[in-house]
C-alpha cells in the first residue's frame, strides 16, 4: 500500500474525544490551507460514526474559513433527526475556537423502488490513457510549473485526464467541461464507509478548476484567488472508490467572481454512482500582471 493511501486512511480514522465529538488531523505537506475535500471527508466520517444501519445519501456543506493544517480540527456532531427511514446529522468543524466549516448529511435505510439514471458520455477506457508517470513524461515540459508540481506529488487519488490539453495549455472560450478517470491509488479496506469518505475526498478535486477552463486559466494561475465555498454530494448507488470511476464535470455559469460547477461519477459499467455540485470563489487579483502564458 502506498504511503499516500496509508496516510489518507490514518487521517480518516478520527479520534473519538467524547460522545458526538471527534478530532481529525491534516497531512503535513506544506499547504497553507487544509484541502477542502479532506474536511468534507472527515466531517462525513464523524457523521457516519453516529448513525446505525442507515447510509448517507446526500450531504450539503459550506466552507466558512480556511483551515489551518498545523493544528487538529474538532468535529462536533448534532443529531437533528432519527426516524424509521431517515436520519439527519449536522457537523461543525472547529479550529481556534471558530467554526470553519459545517455539513448537513441525510441518511436513508435502503429500500426497493423506481430506478433510472442518465448514461455516461463516451470516453476512452482508463487503460487507453497514459498513467500519471507517462502523462508527465509526455506533457510535463509543456505544463505550467505549478501544474507540473501538482502532478509530481504523490497523492492518494490517481487521475487519468481524458483531455490532456485541459492540464497542459488553455485557450480562451474553450468548452468549460472535462472528463477524468479517478480512483484511489491503492486498494482500500472493504468497509463501505471508508469508500464513501474517499469519494467525498476526491469529489472536491478539479471541480472548481472546471469553471476557469473557458477563461484560459486554472486555480494555479497567479491572477486567480480560488476557494471552494459550498459543496453538495448525492450518493446514488453502491461503489468502490478503489475502482475506476469516470468523473464528468461541466461549469454552466461563472459570474460576479463566483464559478459554479457540476459533476457526475460513473462506474466502469456505466452506472451513475454520485452527483456533485459546487460554487467557488474565482476572483481576479487586480494587482497582479500575469498573462495566460504564465500560469
Is 126 in a helix, a strand, or coil?
Answer: helix
Whether 228 sits among the annotated catalytic residues: the reply is yes
DSSP 190: S
Q: Alpha carbon of 168 to those of 142, 163, 213, 282: distances in Å?
A: 6, 9, 12, 20
Pair 278, 231: CB distance under 8 Å: yes
**Residue 160 CB burial class (10 angstroms; 0-12, 13-18, ≥19):** buried
Which one of the listed residues 42, 54, 203, 228 is annotated catalytic? 228
Residues 6+ apart with CB under 8 A from 117: 236, 237, 271, 272
Three-state DSSP class for residue 51: coil
Which helix (H) or strand (E) segment holds residue 233: the answer is strand 224-235
Q: What's the rounded Cα separation, in Å, for the pair 76 and 154?
A: 31
Distance CA 101, CA 94 (A): 7
Q: Which one of the listed residues 204, 209, 218, 242 is annotated catalytic?
A: 204
Phi, psi of 168 (to 5 degrees): -100, -55
Of 66, 64, 69, 74, nearest in space to 95 by CA: 74
Active site residue 163: no
What is the DSSP-derived secondary structure letter of residue 260? E
Residues noted as catalytic: 204, 228, 278
Amino acid at each position: 500500500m502506498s504511503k499516500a493511501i496509508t496516510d489518507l486512511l490514518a487521517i480518516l480514522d478520527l479520534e473519538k474525544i467524547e460522545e458526538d465529538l471527534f478530532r481529525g488531523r491534516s497531512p503535513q505537506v506544506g499547504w497553507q490551507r487544509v484541502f477542502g475535500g479532506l474536511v468534507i471527508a472527515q466531517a462525513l466520517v464523524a457523521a457516519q460514526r453516529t448513525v446505525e444501519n442507515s447510509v448517507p445519501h446526500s450531504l450539503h456543506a459550506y466552507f466558512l474559513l480556511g483551515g489551518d493544517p498545523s493544528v487538529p480540527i474538532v468535529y462536533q456532531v448534532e443529531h437533528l433527526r432519527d426516524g424509521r427511514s431517515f436520519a439527519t446529522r449536522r457537523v461543525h468543524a472547529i479550529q481556534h475556537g471558530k467554526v470553519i466549516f459545517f455539513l448537513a448529511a441525510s441518511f436513508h435505510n435502503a429500500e426497493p423502488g423506481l430506478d433510472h439514471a442518465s448514461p455516461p458520455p463516451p470516453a476512452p477506457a482508463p487503460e487507453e490513457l497514459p498513467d500519471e508517470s507517462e502523462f508527465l513524461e509526455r506533457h510535463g515540459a509543456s505544463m505550467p510549473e505549478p501544474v507540473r508540481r501538482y502532478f509530481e506529488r504523490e497523492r492518494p487519488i490517481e487521475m487519468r485526464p481524458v483531455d490532456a490539453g485541459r492540464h497542459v495549455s488553455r485557450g480562451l472560450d474553450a468548452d468549460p467541461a472535462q472528463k477524468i478517470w479517478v480512483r484511489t491509488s491503492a486498494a482500500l479496506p472493504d468497509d463501505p464507509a471508508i469508500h464513501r469518505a474517499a469519494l467525498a475526498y476526491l469529489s472536491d478535486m478539479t471541480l472548481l478548476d472546471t469553471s476557469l477552463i473557458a477563461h484560459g486559466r486554472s486555480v494555479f494561475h497567479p491572477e486567480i484567488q480560488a476557494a471552494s465555498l459550498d459543496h453538495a454530494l448525492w450518493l446514488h448507488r453502491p461503489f468502490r472508490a478503489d475502482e475506476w470511476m469516470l468523473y464528468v464535470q461541466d461549469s454552466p455559469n461563472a459570474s460576479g467572481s463566483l464559478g459554479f460547477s457540476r459533476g457526475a461519477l460513473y462506474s466502469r459499467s456505466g452506472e451513475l454512482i454520485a452527483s456533485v455540485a459546487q460554487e467557488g470563489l474565482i476572483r481576479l487579483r487586480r494587482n497582479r500582471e500575469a498573462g495566460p502564458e504564465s500560469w
